[in-house]
Chain A
């Protein structure tokens, strides 16, 4: 019974997990598909579909939202994303997105830089940023 309950608990936590909102600067008029977002955060695309240079912002792996984003948007575990980037970094083919500590730092970055793109918990979204997708 105990085992069953802990199983319930895991299940409930999974359901209650945060929705991720991908955010850009309000001045950014790009329409972004899920694939565009994926490509920008994996360094496969260096600019927005409308041509502007893209500056993705990540949250540190210590924040559970990072695992959430990696899983839902990039379709891999955070370890796999690190492995992916280690291939590019050590071959001079790419530099991973800059990392900040928490949602407020992401919002600050996206608010101040017209070409920044980041993600936060939907509950943390403010008027200063524009949501382009939720996962």
Chain B
């Protein structure tokens, strides 16, 4: 019951494929490629890695490096399909918590999934999406944060 194709061509009134805040048509979800930004996590002096980055890490020290999680696959820790979504968010909205293994260091992330056909333990890969929800539709000030990011797609 994969809806991957539907996500790539979702109607324009749904988040993830609506207008950008400048009024330009947004890009569909992509596999990344040369134009996709990094899925950036922060590495700290004690070796720990967090997504998102914080001013200081779990050990109380500032980050010293970044890690691009888009180069890795991850395992589904848990997932849900939300059917009561806020303004500007696709409905249904599949979301998952996943865990990457970066050279033996676990790093968790959260994000939309490309399908609700998931199971705990599935292997997924990050897929870039230029606009995850309509920035103009919700309560948060559009300019206050980024609206692109990575969804998780099962590795076939």
B partners with A: no
Interface residues of A (CB under 8 A from B): none
Interface residues of B (CB under 8 A from A): none
